[in-house]
Chain A
Amino acid sequence: MFLNDEQKAMMDGKCGRGAAYAMEIQFALGEAFDAPDMVPITRAHVALSNQEADLWFAEKLLAGGAHCRIAPTVNPGFCLSLFSEHCAHPVEEKFAALMRRTHNAYRQLGAVLSYNCTPYMGSNVPHFGEICAFSESSATPYVNAVWGARSNREGANSALCAAITGFVPRYGLLLDENRTGDIHVHVEADMKTPYEYHLLGMMGKKIGEGIPVFTGLPRIIPPEALRNLGAQLNTSGAYGMYHIVGFTPEAPSLTAALGGKPARHEVVITNQDLKDILEEISDPGGRKIDFAMFGCPHFSLDEVKYIAEKLSGQSLAVPMYILVSSTTVEMAGRMGLLEILTAAGAELLPDTCPDQPCWHFLAGKEGVTESPKCAYYPQRRGIHFVIRDLDSCIEAALKGEVN
């Protein structure tokens, strides 16, 4: 891979050891994918995870004097003040310390401490064709497919390297020829709410390796549905890009979406497929539940408003945790939604991810959620879920049991 003088100087340590390390990693990545050279980025999003590997890597860069040239937005860890020693279920000190160190490391690296996994719906929205480095499963497909920006499916670590060097190797989804679809997915299932897009995204095994081109979807698709589709495509598989014919900007027609070539294979997704996948990934229903959790990825203000309207004047049988950005909490407060939710017994939490040690007190418990991703990762922590559509989950939280 060719490096220009500025990039070479960085690799040689002229901008410090940290930047040199970031450049070395990106150089190896570029060589692995036969990239001809590197190009500047103007945006980045880092899937901060507040795991030991995340902290180890961030601190290693920081120790080498690294600083972000492009300030990236970051994913949530957990909200320290909500899980500190004054709370009902304080997090163990070693985990609080981990979150503090992660916070300090990213702050010193110069990141935007947004702690939100849906930057593409608010705080970090690229324009058409903009070259950027986005990690986070729901984010990469959203910026590529929906906004028409250009990002590879960066890892949290490679996105941080890109934020530091300000460059990415030019390969994969940065190139025209790699952005066209090759799998035609005929959706025959009824796509009524964003929930069905969660299940559609979980069809990775059936869809297979490549770039899916969806047909048969409704004419109007809300951002929450697109967020869910991307999140689950990268739970069941690895997808940086997709097309929706007649909807996403690089898919004015099926022919255009497929780059004028015939599809490599065709897949049909029916209601039965969605029913089957749900059976595979969800715990069986017909049981009592201990809590409800929403916001993987983070719920939007519209969704918060929807839940508040449903819960108005009612009282929940079990706790409900709704994970959102700090901006959404602020807006919900201004709009009076927070009051309604609190009165019903629901909690609106900023900066927090379901896959964090702050949820230790839910180990061994059974929850409901509408998100397969929310059910998938916390299994490691002994937290299990029944997956249902949002209305059924709200109903379950009001009754304390799920059908």
Chain B
Amino acid sequence: MGKRFACHRISKGQAQARAVVSGDKLCFYQVEPESGIVMERAHTLEGKKISKSVLIFPGGKGSSVVQADGLYQLNMHGNMPSAMIIQYPEPVLVSSAIIMEIPMVDRVEAAFYDTVRSGDLILVNADEGYLELFPELAPSV
């Protein structure tokens, strides 16, 4: 049994995957579609893979097309994140998540951020507004 945290639905759906945690805002256009690896110079996730992850990051940045274009290309190569947990929703990223049908939530209790680490297994249930964190499972690297 994991630890449950309440959250707020942004884009519907459910997914369970390993967490990738970023302290920086993200622009999906700066992720290589063929590998799912973040290319942006000096980014916390530079060189890290975000494919099929529960991606935890503050929010989006960049111009008004880059999130949809970036996510679409990642999806074409099977490298789109499985779900996203954010803190600062803004319409460019939110509308892209809705259109690409990626479950997305925000307003997660602060305690979640104190606990979660990259590699933790997380269930995101956007429809019912909760997350379940399974930190006891060691990352499979």
**Residues of A near any B CB (own CB < 8 A):** 25, 28-29, 31-33, 47, 49, 51-54, 56-57, 75, 135-137, 140, 152-159, 161, 172, 204, 209, 234-238, 240, 280, 373, 377, 380
Closest 3 A/B residue pairs (Cβ)? A53-B72, A135-B64, A158-B95
- On whether the beta carbons of B91 and A172 are closer than 8 Å, the reply is yes
Distance (whole angstroms) from the CB of A281 to the closest CB of chain B: 9
Is B116 at the interface (CB under 8 A from chain A)?
no
Instruction: List, sorted by A's number, 30 A–B pairs whose CB atoms are closer than 8 Å.
Output: A25-B99, A28-B12, A29-B98, A32-B9, A51-B65, A52-B69, A52-B72, A53-B65, A53-B68, A54-B65, A57-B99, A135-B64, A137-B63, A153-B64, A154-B64, A154-B91, A154-B92, A155-B64, A155-B95, A156-B65, A158-B91, A209-B58, A234-B61, A234-B64, A235-B61, A235-B63, A238-B61, A377-B29, A380-B29, A380-B30
Is B125 at the interface (CB under 8 A from chain A)?
no
Chain A residue at minimum C-beta to C-beta distance from B12: A28
- Collect the chain B residues with CB atoms within 8 Å of residue A47's CB: 63-65
- On whether the beta carbons of A54 and B68 are closer than 8 Å, the reply is yes
Distance (whole angstroms) from the CB of A379 to the closest CB of chain B: 8
**Known pairs A155-B64, A155-B96 / 11 extra A-B pairs, C-beta < 8 Å:** A29-B94, A47-B63, A51-B65, A52-B73, A157-B96, A234-B64, A235-B61, A237-B25, A238-B59, A280-B42, A377-B29
Distance (whole angstroms) from the CB of B22 to the closest CB of chain A: 14
How far apart are the CA atoms of A152 and B92 in the complex, in Å? Answer: 9
- Collect the chain B residues with CB atoms within 8 Å of residue A53's CB: 65, 68-69, 71-73
Is B10 at the interface (CB under 8 A from chain A)?
yes
- Collect the chain B residues with CB atoms within 8 Å of residue A209's CB: 58-59, 88
- Collect the chain B residues with CB atoms within 8 Å of residue A152's CB: 91
Chain B interface size, under 10 / 10 to 19 / 20 to 34 / 35 or more = 35 or more
Is B90 at the interface (CB under 8 A from chain A)?
yes
How far apart are the CA atoms of A229 and B58 in the complex, in Å? Answer: 23
- On whether the beta carbons of A49 and B61 are closer than 8 Å, the reply is no
- On whether the beta carbons of B91 and A155 are closer than 8 Å, the reply is yes
Is B129 at the interface (CB under 8 A from chain A)?
no
Against A, the Cβ 8 Å flags (1 = close, 0 = not) of B69-108 are 1011100100000000000111111111011000000000
Is B62 at the interface (CB under 8 A from chain A)?
yes
Is B67 at the interface (CB under 8 A from chain A)?
yes
How far apart are the CA atoms of A31 and B93 in the complex, in Å? Answer: 15
Tell me if A's interface is mostly helix, strand, loop or mixed.
helix
- On whether the beta carbons of A238 and B62 are closer than 8 Å, the reply is yes
Is B60 at the interface (CB under 8 A from chain A)?
yes
- Collect the chain A residues with CB atoms within 8 Å of residue B91's CB: 29, 33, 152-155, 158, 172
Question: B98 touches which one: A28, A49, A154, A238 (CB < 8 A)?
Answer: A28
Distance (whole angstroms) from the CB of A125 to the closest CB of chain B: 19
- Collect the chain B residues with CB atoms within 8 Å of residue A159's CB: 64
- Collect the chain A residues with CB atoms within 8 Å of residue B93's CB: 155, 238
How far apart are the CA atoms of A330 and B61 in the complex, in Å? Answer: 35
- Collect the chain B residues with CB atoms within 8 Å of residue A154's CB: 64, 91-92, 95
How far apart are the CA atoms of A47 and B9 in the complex, in Å? Answer: 27
Distance (whole angstroms) from the CB of A376 to the closest CB of chain B: 9
Distance (whole angstroms) from the CB of A95 to the closest CB of chain B: 15
Distance (whole angstroms) from the CB of A8 to the closest CB of chain B: 19
Question: A238 touches which one: B9, B12, B25, B29 (CB < 8 A)?
Answer: B25
How far apart are the CA atoms of A36 and B99 in the complex, in Å? Answer: 21
- On whether the beta carbons of B98 and A25 are closer than 8 Å, the reply is yes
- On whether the beta carbons of B89 and A156 are closer than 8 Å, the reply is no
Known A53-B69, A155-B95; judge A33-B60 contact (CB<8 A): no
Is B51 at the interface (CB under 8 A from chain A)?
no
Known A32-B89, A33-B89, A238-B92; judge A54-B62 contact (CB<8 A): no
- On whether the beta carbons of B11 and A49 are closer than 8 Å, the reply is no
